[in-house]
Structure 1
Amino acid sequence: MARSKEYDEPEVLDKAMRLFWEQGYEKTSMTDLVDHMGIHRRSLYDAFGDKRTLFLKALDRYGSFIAGNLKAGIKQAETAADALRFVFKYAIDDKEGCPSGCLLVSSAVELAARDEEADAKTVHGFESGEELMAGIIAWGRQNGEFTSAVAAKELAESLHNALLGIRVLSRTSVSREKLYRIVDVSMGLLR
């Protein structure tokens, strides 16, 4: 008779995601994962395969986690400008129980040059972020909030690039005031 799982798979995957988010891929050992996830090493291998496979699953989980949080916050926004500010605020302000920075950005820097699957997942995540911003820009144009002088895709690429930089800086001791100044200047592109 097969043994039943003694853990909740999405819950332990969230724990792995947060550990990779905080420490990065290389610094996170299998022992760290076993200890942090609270499951036996054999169970980890049986459920998720090796460290790299677990990491790739954690990247997918991260993408879903961030997309869900952003979409929920954007729904609450009354204007497109408010929605974009929410996206930037989400990147800047500490989220309870979450490491600072961005797992996609960290993964791109650490692995993209030498791991095609990690590269593909980070690029896909970045493209999704640009598409989200392009949608908000289109909404702002319909409401007359934003300029039509530059293509929405190009504006989204530029704003997303600023967002990625903010995600990097948010892991440092740079002041939140400076990060919000960057947001203000970046959003000036929309006028």
Structure 2
Amino acid sequence: MARSKEFEEKEVLDKAMRLFWEQGYEKTSMTELVEHMGIHRRSLYDTFGDKHSLFLKAMDRFDDKISAALARGVKRSKTASEALQFIFSFMIDGDEDSPAGCLMVNSAVELAARDVEVDNKATKAFTTAEQLLKEIILWGQRESEFTSTYNAEELAGYLHNVWIGLRVMARTSASKEKLHRITHISMKLLEV
């Protein structure tokens, strides 16, 4: 008779995701994962596979959680400017009690050049982010909040580059005030 799992899969996956987010893939050992997740090594392998499979599942979990948080924030926004400001603030401040930076950005920098699966997941997440920005820009252009001088897709590419830069700088000792100044300039560039 098979034993029932003594843990909630999403909860322990969140713990692994956080550890990978804080330390990166290479620096995180299986021993640390087992300890941090609070499960037996055999349960980790049975449920998630090897370290690489667990990492890919953690990337998916991260993408799902961040996408949902961004969608909620954008949906609550009354204007495109407010939606974009929400995104920028989220990139700088994140959720309370979350590590600085971005698991997708960190993973792309650490592994994408030599790991096709990580590259595919990061590229997919980046494409989705640019599409979200494009939709917000089009909204702002329709409402005459944002300039129509530039194509929405080009502006989305530019703003996504700012987004990634913010996520990288958030992991450094750069002040949040500096990062907010960068977003302010980016918002000014969109004005009519």
TM-score (norm 2): 0.97
Separation of aligned partners in 2, 1:108 and 1:94: 19
Q: Which residue of 2 aligns with 1:142?
A: 142
How many pairs are equivalent?
A: 191
Is the CA contact 1:159–1:187 (under 8 Å) kept in the aligned structure 2?
Answer: no
Q: 2:70: which partner in 1?
A: 70
Deviations 1:126-148 (A, max 9, x none): 11110010011111111110111
| Superposition map of 1:15-164 within 5 A | 15-164=15-164
CA distance in 2, matches of 1:166, 1:42: 39
Alignment-mate amino acid for residue 177 of structure 1: E
SS in 1 for 2:11: helix
Cα offset, 1:78, TM superposition: 1.2
- What is the rounded CA distance, in whole Å, between the counterparts of 2:49 and 2:148 in structure 1? 49
Q: C-alpha separation between the residues in 2 aligned to 1:70 and 1:136? A: 12
How far apart in 2 are the matches of 1:139 and 1:95?
Answer: 26
- Listed one character per residue, the Cα deviations across residues 3-62 of structure 1 (whole Å, up to 9, x for unaligned) are 100000011111111110111000100011000111000000000000000000100110
Q: Separation in 2 of the partners of 1:9 and 1:175?
A: 36
Q: Which residue identity does 1:102 align to in structure 2?
A: C
Mapped partners of 1:141, 1:94: distance in 2: 27
Task: Give the 3-state SS of the residue equivalent to 1:62 in structure 2.
Answer: helix
Aligned with 2:100: secondary structure?
A: coil
What is the identity, as a one-letter code, of the residue corresponding to 2:91?
A: A
Q: Distance in 2 between matches of 1:7 and 1:94?
A: 27
- TM-score, normalized by length of structure 1? 0.98
Which AA in structure 1 matches 2:169?
L
Unmatched 5+ residue regions in structure 1?
Answer: none
Unaligned runs of 5+ in 2: none
- Would you identify which runs of 4 or more consecutive aligned residues in structure 1 move more than 3 Å? none
Alignment deviations for residues 90-132 of structure 1 (CA, whole Å, 9 cap, x no partner):
0111522210100011001100000000001001111111001
Q: Percent identity?
A: 61
